Structure 1
Amino acid sequence: MTATTTPPTPAPASPASPAPATPAVGTWTLTWHGVRTVTALELRQRVRSSRWKAALVVWFVIVGAITLLAGGALTVFDESAARTDEAGPVLFVVVTALVLGLGLLVTPTLASTSVNGDRSAGTLATLQVTLLSPAEIAAGKLLAAWLSACAFLAVSLPFFAIALAMGGVPAATLPRVVVLTALLLAAVCGMGLGWSTLAARPAGSTVLTFVTVAALTVFTPIFFGLTYPFLSTTQDVQVYSVPDSYWEQMDDEGMPTGQPVCELDVQERAVARTEWTWWLLAVNPFAVVADGAVPDVPQEPYTAAAYANQTTQALRDLRLGAPEILDECWAQEDTSDVIPARDGAGPVWPYGLAVNLLLGAAGFVVAVRRLRIPQRTLARGTRVA
């Protein structure tokens, strides 16, 4: 008799431990780690480029040369300019306009090729298949472009300090100029980022960004001037001026006799409804910085600071339209006893800055939506990976 052996019953297999779940990444998922990662990658790529360092050097040389030439020109036209407080405000205005103008020219090239340039190089798909969300990729590229633009602004700070050292400019003006300029550059970076996702070629997005910046800086005053005749109507208004009878009595030398006395009269004048189109000038980046940086304090007459205040006040008065009484009394400096004081319209730079930032935010939103995967439609000839 042979004994039969029963094979041992195999032990039940232990259930395999579940793999760690991958966190869900949405389109608008935004973490500081993801934004910092993309920003660091973008900045390393820019710093390694020799063109980046050369651009900073060229920027410093150009701003410095124009600052020195402007200071020398002030001395030539006015021998006492170097010893008075007049040179400081004028030089500060020159440096501010120069830095803002050059910044608006350089910034579009920093953000307008960040997406389609990576797509052409085949590196964008590598970022899109990671755990980085479209919002983190767009925010990282936007932050990198803005920091690069702010580097040019930081290089210009010594020349602002020179203008401040010459006197005549309140110390609080410099931080206002720097903050407003930095915010405007951030808005331009957002616009360039949006065009970078819409245009298939880097050259196309760069041109579109430049056209957008030109529309804000150059075309807005042109449009304001073109619409001015269409908004002007001839009507009877009250005018406070020297009467025509003053010019009827002449002496032997052909000069009017007596002292001119202004009178209130009703005359026909062309009245423009500028309260409908003032926003065309308010959205201009130069108007934003000028209105937001100039301190709203009384200034001595016939000085550069007084002229700057008058310019910004004229921009604010456009919101109110034509006054009830036109002041054409050249023979009397103080006409407040006849001309009623108008309620101040207040600063216009918040409206202009808000429009620029909204355009930049719109570009960022477009970039996030265009970076989503899978992308249903792509431009013809676009490289995916």
Structure 2
Amino acid sequence: MSARRERAARWWSGVLVLVQLDLRQRLRTTRWKVSAAAAFAVVSLVVLGSLYVMVGAGSLAYADWAQNLYVIVGAIVVFVGLVLAPTLTATSINGDRKDAVLAVVQATPVSAWQIAVGKLLGGWASCLALVAVASPYLVWGIVSAPYGVGPGLLGVVVLCLVFLCWCGVGLGFSALTARPAGSAVLTQAAVFTVLLGLPAVFGLLLQPVSQDHRVVRAEYVYDPAAPADALPTCRDVEVTQSFAHTERIWWLLAPHPFLLIPDVVAAHDNPNAWSYRDTRPPTLASSAADALSDARTGPWITDSTCADESTGARYSTDPSRLASPYAEQRAHETASVGDSWYIGLAMNAVFGALGLAAAARRLRVPAGRLPRGVRIA
């Protein structure tokens, strides 16, 4: 056991040396300082600008704005990070190969996996600087949010892990392509495929997964011979309605970071959101998590009958008159809130692991057959 621990310690010591070399190489340039300053300026502009527009103009109370601050800052960090994180590693291998630096590292007694993991962690550490830059606003958002400190910190941890996964994706493209520009373009194409492509595919598949069902619903009939102020007669009729079975394709939305991060904290959000018990509007996190949960649980194949309509629960503001069918429908739609983020994180981890494995495979020495345009040194 001691020999195994010693080998593991030597292995990780080699990785840490490669991480230090990668970070020193990045710190020699001034671009990271400009990038950090620009990121802080963007976050400050959006946060303070929204505070002035929504609260300063009097269109929204500070409490309603502050409960969404965590999601606002998180969305900015996610978007900027997904643009920045893969790019930091998308040129790390083919860029070093182009500068004739990679062959020197491969000549040392380190394995291909050590080089790949070292470059992955080096790029990830650089990306975490974005989270550090936005940390004042993240702390402000965590304190102001209704979730609590624990779920807020968990959301930040999951955010950092998503960046790690996409650093692995960029590393894989860097190893598979000869030119840094090509790997950067492919990496950004993969990012926008997840951000825009998967939701688009989800929307296109709504019609193919739709299915007709026979349901009973309330129908109001007016008697032409009755007086003008007479109320209509309610009767239950059986009709055919089409429902989209999104529970078959919801997984297309699971890896989406803008749905994944809110789902982490939404389970600890205001429990009365979207109900008659609370007049405060729901947070952006609960709205996004509800949409993901609704897609995962599928359609509510039930409609209101005359007995349900007679309670007046649909239009009542009294929670005691809330009819059970509507409560059951709400419970059905929100049944998976907080239960999907780890599935999305696992899918992102698979993306990153595939990229890391591809990078380690291309870094093996001797290299054997190389693709056209790739050189050793």
Q: Where on the TM-score scale, by shorter chain, does this alignment land: which range?
A: 0.7 to 0.9
Distance 1:164 1:29 in 2: 37
Structure 1 residues 35, 251: closer, same or farther in 2, change over 3 A?
A: farther
Q: Judge which range, 330-339 or 103-112, deviates more.
A: 330-339
Report the alpha carbon displacement of residue 359 of structure 1 after superposing the two structures with TM. 0.8
Distance 2:120 2:203 in 1: 35
Structure 1 residues 360, 262: closer, same or farther in 2, change over 3 A?
A: farther
Structure 1 residues 238, 322: closer, same or farther in 2, change over 3 A?
A: farther
Match of 2:248 in 1: 276
Structure 1 residues 97, 339: closer, same or farther in 2, change over 3 A?
A: closer
Contact 2:67-2:283 at 8 Å conserved across structures: no
Contact 2:244-2:299 at 8 Å conserved across structures: yes
Distance 2:220 2:154 in 1: 48
Query: Residue deviations 1:261-314, cap 9 Å, x none?
Result: 987643221111211100011121111101112233513535344564244133
Report the alpha carbon displacement of residue 384 of structure 1 after superposing the two structures with TM. 1.6
Match of 1:351 in 2: 343
Q: Matched residues, percent identical?
A: 33
Distance 1:246 1:200 in 2: 74
Distance 2:81 2:257 in 1: 11
Distance 2:288 2:223 in 1: 32
Match of 2:188 in 1: 210
Distance 2:225 2:105 in 1: 85
Contact 1:194-1:363 at 8 Å conserved across structures: yes
Runs of at least 5 residues in structure 1 that lack an aligned partner in the other structure: 1-25
Contact 1:89-1:304 at 8 Å conserved across structures: no
Structure 1 residues 250, 332: closer, same or farther in 2, change over 3 A?
A: farther
Report the alpha carbon displacement of residue 232 of structure 1 after superposing the two structures with TM. 1.4
Structure 1 residues 101, 303: closer, same or farther in 2, change over 3 A?
A: farther
Distance 2:208 2:46 in 1: 40
Matched residue SS, 2:212: strand
Contact 2:23-2:122 at 8 Å conserved across structures: yes
Residue 302 of structure 2 is aligned to residue 325 of structure 1? yes
Query: Residue deviations 1:157-190, cap 9 Å, x none?
Result: 1012233455645323420221111010000000
Structure 1 residues 209, 230: closer, same or farther in 2, change over 3 A?
A: same
Match of 2:197 in 1: 219
Residue 43 of structure 2 is aligned to residue 43 of structure 1? no
From 341, 357, 365, the counterpart of 1:365: 357
CA RMSD of aligned residues (A): 2.9
Match of 1:57 in 2: 37
Query: TM-score with structure 1 length normalisation?
Result: 0.83
Q: Judge which range, 211-220 or 316-325, deviates more.
A: 316-325
From 69, 86, 95, the counterpart of 1:117: 95
Aligned residue runs from structure 1 range 198-277, under 5 A: 198-239=176-217, 241=218, 243-245=219-221, 265-277=237-249
Structure 1 residues 72, 37: closer, same or farther in 2, change over 3 A?
A: same
Structure 1 residues 247, 146: closer, same or farther in 2, change over 3 A?
A: farther
Distance 1:217 1:229 in 2: 21
Contact 2:55-2:61 at 8 Å conserved across structures: yes
Match of 1:377 in 2: 369
- Matching residue's letter, 1:320: T
Runs of at least 5 residues in structure 2 that lack an aligned partner in the other structure: 1-6
Contact 1:107-1:188 at 8 Å conserved across structures: yes
Contact 1:90-1:304 at 8 Å conserved across structures: no
Aligned residue runs from structure 1 range 100-139, under 5 A: 100-139=78-117
Query: Residue deviations 1:336-380, cap 9 Å, x none?
Result: 157756663461111111000111011111111110011112222
Determine which structure has the larger helix proportion and give its number. Answer: 2
Query: Residue deviations 1:212-259, cap 9 Å, x none?
Result: 1111111111111111112113332234x5x3226979986xxx765x
Count of matched residue positions in the alignment of Structure 1 and Structure 2: 351
From 14, 30, 46, the counterpart of 1:34: 14
Distance 1:153 1:81 in 2: 28
Report the alpha carbon displacement of residue 101 of structure 1 after superposing the two structures with TM. 0.8
Distance 2:205 2:178 in 1: 35
Match of 1:299 in 2: 272
Q: Judge which range, 94-103 or 165-174, deviates more.
A: 165-174
Distance 1:158 1:308 in 2: 20
Match of 2:134 in 1: 156
Contact 1:88-1:165 at 8 Å conserved across structures: no
